[in-house]
Amino acid sequence: MTAASEREGYFGQFGGSFVPPELQEVLDYLAEQFFRYKDDPEFVSEYRYYLREYIGRESPLTFARRLTEMLGGARVYLKREDLNHTGSHKINNVLGQILLAKRRGARRVIAETGAGQHGVATATACAMFGMECVIYMGAEDTRRQALNVFRMELLGARVVPVSKGQGRLKDAVDEALADLVANYRNTFYLLGSAVGPHPYPTMVKHFQSIISEESKRQMLEKEGRLPDVVVACVGGGSNAIGAFAHYLDEPTVRLIGVEPDQAATLTQGVPAVLHGFRSLVLLDEHGNPRPTYSIAAGLDYPGIGPEHSYLKESGRAEYHTVTNEEVLEAFQMLSRTKGIIPALESAHAVAYALKLAPTLDRDKIILVNLSGRGDKDVEQVFRMIRQAQ
């Protein structure tokens, strides 16, 4: 994949922009603004300022000593995105895009959210910069993530429950895109994952790549070498592409994305167009997006970012699934061995690391991107554990 093809929005056969002409004009302008500012010294300085002073970066790279000893294999490190302000990796991308929105003079910002973390991060940034904020969220997800709904409203956002379809992330994206088509003249769509029409996948990757920029330097400082494996959960793909970005050209580093077994886009999907871009998509027998399910609302999506589709097809990254039972076990094990309650999304990556580490030699290193904290999920996990007893 060349820099030119990425600039044009393609990752091999995946990506592109399949939208109405009036929306394409808006996206072309957004792409021009992004490529103009992303390396502009003043923009970079302002972005880095907020990363440091508002998010609290850089986030630590923590050795999970007790967990490593219990597993008896490779050493496990955690990249602590859970310690960011608002509790996940989502704020990295939100701040980058909100600074673009500010330069455009936008006063109204819309976003979609599944688990609610992107919605919370967007509402946070809009509150800081004094912008109107509207968040679309599947009705089912508003029930599962009621605490995050309240957090968004507390921050001044208007949360719009979407009841159509399954009432989940895909349906929230549908409504956000419809809003943008109707209001593109005065609205900035702050998309939360590495999906959507160009330039969103490239833009989100750019702002999330701070994760691997830091972890690569931190790993060299702590171990004197790169990790053998980088593991991240995958829904739309933003935390994973950020965790992978600075290792893509390091062939000795395995890159592993972990999906829910009931939303296994990368292991079961086929090439198709969804939400204005081409990627691997889970389709039913009629060629429509297939219903999906994950106990982690942020992973409940029938598509995937186009670059992940390319990485799967090219063989540069590998993608595996875990079960809900394995995720719940990982959620509890990390809590008990490290005193860290992970987001259910992040627990997917932890679950796969629990299986992988014992199969590797003790001199090997696994880096797990801990994409968020689990405060939002504790009540849900409490109910699931009680029901299983």
Strand order in the sheet with 277-281: 10-11, 14-15, 277-281, 270-274
The number of CA neighbours under 13 Å toward the Cβ of 270 is 7
Q: What is the pLDDT of residue 170?
A: 85
Which residues does the annotation mark as catalytic? 90, 112, 371
Separation in Å, CA 352 to CA 19, 186, 321, 369: 37, 43, 8, 12
The conformational region for residue 56 under phi > 0 = left, psi -120 to 50 = alpha, else beta, is left
Task: Please report, for the chain, the start and end positions of each structural domain, with discontinuous segments joined by +.
Answer: 10-49+89-204, 56-88+209-388
Q: What is the pLDDT of residue 5?
A: 61
Beta-carbon neighbour count of residue 342 at 10 Å?
A: 29
Instruction: Specify whether the CB–CB gap between 55 and 96 falls below 8 A.
Output: no
d(CA 355, CA 50) in angstroms, rounded, equals: 37
Token digits for 192?
Answer: 């939360």
Indicate the fold that domain 10-49+89-204 takes in CATH. Rossmann fold (3.40.50)
Separation in Å, CA 335 to CA 65, 67, 69, 248, 304: 13, 10, 15, 31, 29
Q: What is the pLDDT of residue 7?
A: 64
At the top level of CATH, the class of 56-88+209-388 is alpha beta
The number of CA neighbours under 13 Å toward the Cβ of 98 is 28
Q: What is the pLDDT of residue 40?
A: 97
Q: What is the pLDDT of residue 177?
A: 86
Three-class SS of residue 116?
coil
Buried b (16+ CB within 10 A) or exposed e, 30-45: bbebbeebbeeeebee
Instruction: Specify whether the CB–CB gap between 100 and 88 falls below 8 A.
Output: no
56-88+209-388 shares the fold of 10-49+89-204: yes
Which residues on neighbouring strands pair with residue 255, listed in sequence order? 230, 317
pLDDT tens, residue by residue, 298-341:
888 899 999 999 999 999 999 999 999 999 999 999 999 999 99
d(CA 238, CA 233) in angstroms, rounded, equals: 9
Vertex 338, ends 332 and 343: CA angle to 5°? 50
Residues of the chain short of pLDDT 70, as ranges, are: 1-7
